Structure 1
Amino acid sequence: MIKIGLTGGIASGKSTISKILKGLGAKIIDADIEAKAALKPNAEPWQLLIKEFGKEILKNDQSIDRRKLGNMVFGDKQKLNKLNSIVHPFVIERIKGKIAYMEQKGDIKAVVLDAPLLIETNLHNLVDEVWVVDVDTKTQISRLIKRDKYNEEQAKNRLKAQLSQEERLKYATAVIDNTGGRRHTREQVTKLWNNRVEELN
């Protein structure tokens, strides 16, 4: 079983590529889903986050409002580091457990770890290859404004809070250009799958 780390900046199109890989037969571990589990009531990080950031980050159902928390920490390096130090260890343990379970099953060709912070959290050490989704900054900003209803300044702050694409590309085993249409992206991903996954299996 080959372990692939899929990463890229915010609004680079990782989810689209993840869906293509799932269609080709990969098992997907979505780091964002694992992070959401950390924000559920009574999860260990949930209690620590309330202690650190206050009850104003809670929704009516007592889960943590990601948007409120995000607005509170982005642009403030110290708060962002604190948030990451609370959430990341929990997420990493969950991911390690899922990878171990899939390895034991023995009938899986590839597991794809879809993680925006693959490099920053050292999750790249858990995978065999790193596939980086590449897209220009202008496209990312326009996608963020359209998708998440950010204004331009908020979108730029989100990008600034992340690792630069230049730094991310240093870790890449493969690069997927996602500035073109879906067909172009699908062709690249299918070719990579055939060359890397099918060949190894």
Structure 2
Amino acid sequence: MKIGLTGSIASGKSTVARMFADLGVKVVDTDVIARRVVEPGSPGLSRLVKEFGRSLLTDNGSLNRRYLGELIFADPEKRQRLNQIMHPMIMAVVSDEMQNYARQHPDGMIMVDVPLLIEANLRSWFDQVVLVYVPVPVQLARLRARDGLDEETAQLRMRSQMSPDEKRHHADFVIDNSGSPAATRAQVDKVFHCLQTLSSRAGKGHTCK
């Protein structure tokens, strides 16, 4: 079974992904892949420099992620151009990993953490979509604390994505990560067992919420 894991910025997707991994789910992190495809000397980094200029590079030739973030979060057109470059490269790697895993584990469960799964219209890639949800006030507080941002900058980054409440309508399962770790883990366990049922032959054609 192919599962998409998504959620807005600072929702806690990585925490939830680790919980699923602890239960034996193969987890693919597109943030890790995104870093890999723009390593120094890579074709991906060359494409970004060609599009946005050499100011993207640090003194040692690596990508200046802070500068890139400031550049694209304030400019929807540049953000779209970045996504048009990055998404095909990232999803090509994801496709290879999913195919390889399916060959080795035909009955296995693979989960791909894709922050912009819904915005990028990738719903059809997956059998089920799990959303990690937090209310906007919680999201804002966590983002400011995590990245050391002022409120205006944090709000700008949040507005660059679909709102958490709107994303709920596109998910098969919603995990509310606004409470304690134990509360989140209980929801993960429930969703995991439900996904197991759906992926089994006995679960075909059944719903489980």
What TM-score comes out, normalization by structure 2 length? 0.91
Name the aligned partner's letter for residue 170 of structure 2: Y
Structure-2 separation of matches of 1:185 and 1:166? 18
Deviates more, 1:161-170 or 1:75-84: 161-170
Following superposition, the deviation at residue 60 of structure 1 comes to: 2.5
Report the counterpart of residue 128 of structure 1 in structure 2.
127
Contact 1:129 / 1:173 at 8 angstroms: preserved in 2?
yes
Shift of 1:119: 1.3
Letter in 2 for 1:181: S
Asked whether the equivalents of residues 92 and 123 of structure 1 are also in contact (C-alpha less than 8 Å), the reply is: no
Check the 8 A contact 1:102/1:108 in 2, yes or no.
Answer: no
| Aligned twin of 1:15 | 14
Whole-angstrom distance in 1 between the partners of 2:6 and 2:76: 21
> SS at the partner of 2:170?
coil
Deviation at 1:138, TM superposition (A): 1.1
Distance 1:140 1:5 in 2: 21
Over aligned residue pairs, what C-alpha RMSD do you find? 1.4
2: CA distance, partners of 1:166 / 1:49: 32
Q: Is the 8 A contact 1:145 1:155 kept in 2?
A: yes
User: Any unmatched runs of 5+ in structure 1?
Assistant: none
Whole-angstrom CA distance in 1 between matches of 2:44 and 2:159: 25
Q: Is residue 160 of structure 1 aligned with residue 159 of structure 2?
A: yes
Offset of residue 166 of structure 1: 3.2
Change (3 A) 1:199 1:80: closer
Residue identity opposite 1:50 in structure 2: V
Distance 1:198 1:11 in 2: 30
1:6-155 alignment, distance < 5 Å: 6-106=5-105, 109-155=108-154
Write the distance in 2 (CA, Å) between the matches of 1:19 and 1:124. Answer: 22
Larger relative contact order (C-alpha < 8 A, sep ≥ 6)?
Answer: 1
Q: 2:2: which partner in 1?
A: 3
Q: What is the CA-CA distance between 1:198 and the residue it aligns to?
A: 5.0
Distance 1:6 1:164 in 2: 16
Structure 2: unaligned runs, 5 residues or longer: 201-209
Mapped to 2, the partners of 1:134 and 1:40 lie a distance apart of 31
Taking only the aligned residue pairs, the percentage that are identical comes to 37
Q: Secondary structure at the match of 1:170?
A: helix
